[in-house]
Chains A and B, each alone.
Chain A
Amino acid sequence: KAGVTQTPRYLIKTRGQQVTLSCSPISGHRSVSWYQQTPGQGLQFLFEYFSETQRNKGNFPGRFSGRQFSNSRSEMNVSTLELGDSALYLCASSSGNRGQTYEQYFGPGTRLTVT
């Protein structure tokens, strides 16, 4: 079974621009979660999508948004980029079945650098 894929792997953007990151979950998984990882703040939860609906949301400003398509692929968008948005953005997929377990499978991440 193929793992979680994220594209692009690396990205350099300028302040004020916007960016869209893509994630393809493991086949059959319906939940996709996004995380931001920085040296200072560690791993922070952005949001989770399940069956095209946002099911859970972290404490990030509205500049961070996402969506999920009918094939469970997900995109994350960040508008009006700031220097502090430089980070590794990780996507994780899971079956999403409620039972409050979080056995998630992570992709390799997209390294975003904002200059």
Chain B
Amino acid sequence: LAKTTQPISMDSYEGQEVNITCSHNNIATNDYITWYQQFPSQGPRFIIQGYKTKVTNEVASLFIPADRKSSTLSLPRVSLSDTAVYYCLALAAGNKLTFGGGTRVLVKP
């Protein structure tokens, strides 16, 4: 069964770039990798998704290497309000949606 692995936590400072890598072996060939952000007492919120190479939107970038065994979420110039838990989501072989364990990002002033 596929396993999705992320670092448990990361600390950063305002204005810095934060990069979170998720390892996801054995994912389905044609499926997207999606990242979510979750604040306390709220449901996760969609940030970005990608299939391969690089995707950028107004809040983040997503880098996916050719082998698709990992992906990196990049948050440019973080602010205090970016303190949250970030999850990667992939569709594993066997059609099982698998969330990573989540990375708790703490942005300090």
A→B interface (CB under 8 Å) = 4, 33, 35, 42-45, 48, 56, 58-59, 90, 92, 100-109
Contact = CB atoms under 8 A, between A and B. Distances in A.
Given A42-B102, A43-B102, A103 B97 contact: no
- Which interface class (under 10, 10 to 19, 20 to 34, 35 or more) fits B? 20 to 34
B95 A44 contact: no
A56 B95 contact: yes
B99 to A, nearest CB: 4
B31 A45 contact: no
A10 to B, nearest CB: 11
Interface in B68-95: 87, 89, 91, 95
A42 B43 contact: no
B30 A108 contact: no
B36, B44, B87, B98 — which one has the most chain A CB atoms within 10 A of its CB?
B44
Given A4-B43, A102-B49, A107-B43, A59 B96 contact: yes
Contacts, number: 59
A45 B2 CA distance: 13
Contacts of A90: 43-44
A101 B34 contact: yes
A58 B30 contact: no
Nearest to A35: B99
A74 to B, nearest CB: 15
B44 A101 contact: no
Contact of B87 (A33, A43, A92): A43
B43 A102 contact: no
Contacts of B100: 42
* B41, B97, B99, B102 interface centre (most CB from chain A within 10 Å): B97
